[in-house]
A and B are shown apart, each in its own frame.
Chain A
Amino acid sequence: MPVLPALQELLPDRGLRPGTAVRVGGSTALSLALLAAATTEGTWCAAIGCEGLGLVAAAEIGVALDRLHLVERPGEHFEDAAAAYADAAGVLLLRPGRPLSDRSAARLTALARRHGCALVVDGSWPSPQVRLQVTARQWTGVGMGRGRLRGQRVMVEVGGRGAAARGRQVGLWLPDADGRVRLDAPAERLHGARAARPQLAVAR
């Protein structure tokens, strides 16, 4: 399942693998960004339990809203709703209200594997394939009573099982000042290059 180019760096398969769970911690924006490329390519997605999702933000990040079903308040039927959609959607965004038991999670993962559905979990999930944890964030554009929010830089710690196990840190703009999701590094180099330029002096 395709993801935005910048997010390929985060995932061992450079995309979402059907039948596996990616657990995102500390960033709803990142979990939405993981859905974006799939929806724009026409894959159906469903968000279960994500009450109060900022859908304008979702659209800005690149999610095609007409490909997204929302079950905002599944309550005690969270598993039923997730199971129903594991059978149909290409990517499921799950936010379990309370931690799922290992058995329920295994059952949902098995259903998802059988039907080729990838899981993105915003919350707790027993033994996910990939763990993406935002460890630091910084918003730019706002001063003490000036400007407006422009972009967010986050540091994502990648962990998980198998190929993802070697933990590493990736810097991301989520989004940058142009509203795109991109890797931090090239921008840093650009910034460095600018700093290395000789300072202009006033000619007398």
Chain B
Amino acid sequence: MTGSEVAAPRSVVVFSPDWPVTAALGAGGDAEGRLVAVVEGGRVLAASQAARAAGVRRGMKIRSAQTLMDGLEIHDRVPDDEARLFEQVAEAVGALAAHLEVLRPGICAIPARGATRFHGGEEALVERLYDAVESAGFECRIGVADGLVAAQLAARTQLVVPPGGSAAFLARFPVGEVAPPRLADLLVRLGLETVGRFAAVPPAAVSDRFGAVGVAAHRLARGLEARPVVARPAGADLVAQVRFETPHTVAEPMVFAALGLAERMHAGLAAAGLGCERFAVEVECADRSEASRMWRHEGVLSAAAVAERVRWQLQAWQHQQHFDERAGGVVALRLVPDGLFADPGRQLSLLDGDRESLERMERAAARVQAILGHTAVVTAQLAGGRGPGEQVVRTPWGDAHQEQRAEGPWPGRLPAPSPVRVPATAEQVRLRDAEGREVQVTARAELVSAPVFLVVEGRELAVSGWAGPWPATERWWADDGSRVARMQVTVEGGGALLLAVEGGRWRLEGAYDS
């Protein structure tokens, strides 16, 4: 297994069934035995258990639902209430584990590792979670599995999937559980109806045909993380923050700042070619107290969707008086992306919106990578360094660009123009003076004799001019610290070459044009 083939981290998912119903009835409301349906856009979104027993289904028209029974209570969906009320569940769960993450109102997750160790086993953790949520006054179901997708499905039926068993557990579910709707449609038409059958397709074939979206879904199907997580590039400040001159004690004015803040977070990620799996909403109060809540992002939320989650969170905190007068009000609001992965698509779609041409390039890159291997297609970025080969970082298409190394100064780096051809391995050449001896360079980087002939691949070229040598001591701290000097040489016929000398031997580092 390579580094990117590691199983997804074990997750515990806490799921409150029929959350829209619970939210519609309010904190004190008891859905037990009541016929309730929550509707959105003229159709049923969720129904209480009793209503479902009577035949009400998600997606049903209101009128059809009403004809099934008398006295069906119809409530309009209020997403803000759902989010605000769920904060109470999140608080109860969050008290037992660090790193709680809200997937959406009604469902949240915690990484299993630390919490399991702390509470003495998965079963003990699950028991405590049930106790905590129930004592907060809510019903819940809990599932444990490798990876969030499997854990969410496990939570529906209150299962603990053994470690390493996620792929087998997922296999019998419809492929729509791991793939976005359009892709799932296509897969079903191709006869890959279940996750298991999709997982059996070789990865290269998937990347060839379905591109980045297909690869992410396929990784989920195989019980892996959708995307390999990359380390946060050091120095890149991806946190979007706004500070308020007058502290706010109510959510509303801060909500206005949320959209701009979300756009800034996305722009920062885009510039670094990254996407995030989740993001934290954080507020800092005048009395130094802070509150933070993690939300699921998966690289797919728009700025408006992020802003909506910020609004939900702020309203929930306001409701719980997290930042009332006693705390002095909120002085700073922050969005902190987390779980970063390489996302060249977001980078460009945000910059100029030419989504289609990018997707075609992605497909072309995937096709070539399927034939020649992942590292065969690269994009380049300028970096620090002295030699012409060192100033460029090549990154396989699909991986995140490394952090750009510091912009100089790089003493010994030659100014523009730079050589147009830079062989991967510098070829040994001979530089001779009028007597046919090898041209020597002193410790102070001075030529002992003037060069007259250059011998490249057995061909002798007359030297028409030269400049340098310029010394560049590289890695002087290491024992093999190399003392290199570079020299530009023009030869008969008009060509110009970059030579380097090290330990008395000349090599050809580049050709200025040919």
Contact = CB atoms under 8 A, between A and B. Distances in A.
Interface of A: 26-29, 32, 42-44, 46, 51-60, 65-66, 68-75, 77, 80-81, 84-85, 87-90, 136-139, 141-152, 154, 174-175, 179
Given A71-B376, A84-B368, A144-B450, A54 B422 contact: yes
A44 B380 CA distance: 14
A142 to B, nearest CB: 4
A27 to B, nearest CB: 6
A115 to B, nearest CB: 8
B420 A32 contact: yes
A151 B513 CA distance: 11
Contacts of B450: 144-145
Contacts of A68: 379-380
Contact of A149 (B368, B381, B382, B488): B488
Interface size class of B (residues with CB under 8 A): 35 or more
12 contacts: A44-B358, A52-B422, A54-B420, A57-B418, A69-B361, A73-B376, A87-B360, A88-B363, A89-B361, A142-B467, A142-B490, A148-B467
B382 A56 contact: yes
A179 to B, nearest CB: 5
Contacts of B490: 139, 142, 149
Residue of B414, B417, B422, B450 with most chain A CB atoms under a 10 A cut-off: B417
Q: Main SS of chain A's interface residues?
A: mixed
Contacts of A42: 352, 354
B422 to A, nearest CB: 5
Contact of B377 (A56, A70, A143): A70
Contacts of B488: 142, 148-149
B468 interface: yes
B495 interface: yes
Interface in B368-383: 368, 371-372, 376-382
B2 interface: no
B377 A71 contact: yes
Interface string B479-510: 00000000010100111100000000000001
Contact of A51 (B380, B424, B496, B512): B424
B186 interface: no
Contacts of A55: 380, 382, 392, 422
A146 B468 CA distance: 7
Contacts of B447: 145
Contact of B392 (A29, A32, A56, A142): A56
A137 B422 CA distance: 19
Interface string B343-377: 00000000010100110110111011001100011
Contacts of B465: 139, 142-144
Contacts of A43: 357
B174 interface: no
B467 A60 contact: no
Given A27-B513, A152-B512, A152-B513, 6 more contacts: A65-B381, A69-B365, A69-B378, A143-B465, A149-B488, A150-B417
Contacts of B358: 44
Contact of B419 (A57, A142, A147): A57
B430 interface: no
Contact of B361 (A26, A44, A142): A44
B391 interface: yes
A54 B514 contact: no
A102 B376 CA distance: 26
A14 B513 CA distance: 24
A11 to B, nearest CB: 20
B462 to A, nearest CB: 13
A70 B379 contact: yes
B394 interface: yes
B368 A26 contact: no
A152 B377 CA distance: 31
Interface in B273-310: none
A137 B467 contact: no
B156 interface: no
B416 interface: yes
B203 interface: no
Residue of B422, B467, B514 with most chain A CB atoms under a 10 A cut-off: B467
B415 interface: yes
Nearest to B344: A66
B513 A137 contact: yes
A66 B348 CA distance: 10
B466 A69 contact: no
B388 interface: yes
Nearest to B496: A139
Nearest to B365: A69
A151 B417 contact: yes
Contacts of A147: 467
A57 B493 CA distance: 21
A196 B98 CA distance: 82
A162 B487 CA distance: 44
B367 A84 contact: yes
A70 B420 contact: no
B415 A148 contact: yes
Contact of B414 (A54, A136, A146, A148): A148
Contacts of B381: 65-66
A52 B421 contact: yes
A29 B467 contact: no
Contacts of B86: none
A144 B487 CA distance: 12
Contacts of A136: 494
A55 B379 CA distance: 10
A54 B388 contact: yes
